[in-house]
Amino acid sequence: MGASTFSVTSWRFFTEQALIDLTDREGLFLTYVLAPDDGFKGDLFVFPIAEFADCVRRSDKLTNGKYRVYISRTHGENPRWYMRRKSSFTELTDENVIDVTKYYRDFACLG
């Protein structure tokens, strides 16, 4: 899939130790905020930490041991958000992406 498949992509790296440190904290939630250079547009995700760590561990792991995490939004009126498991692919499949749309602005999960 080319860059034209996605309208927005955020990326960062996580280490296994960082995930262990986060998941050791019971009841923790992680808010992943996307802020483009021209300012925050409301794009954020609320993940229970165990679910976030599971998604990250299923993403692309580099030779240096870090997980490379891309979160991308598709084009269109009803866009979907995906955590990409690979940096490049030809179609959206469970092998290539994890649909994280349900975590988008999911404040209800906080109780």
pLDDT in tens, 65-106: 999 999 999 998 999 999 999 888 889 999 999 999 999 999
How much of the chain, in percent, has pLDDT values that exceed 70?
97
Q: What is the pTM of this model?
A: 0.89
Confidence of residue 35 (pLDDT cuts 50, 70, 90): confident
- Residue 105's alpha-carbon distances to 3, 67, 110, in angstroms, are 24, 24, 11
Secondary structure E strands in 1-43: 6-14, 29-33
What pLDDT shows up at residue 64?
96
Dist CA 49 CA 28 (whole Å): 6
Name the residue type at position 13: F
Dist CA 97 CA 91 (whole Å): 9
What pLDDT shows up at residue 111?
86
End-to-end Cα separation, the chain, in angstroms: 37
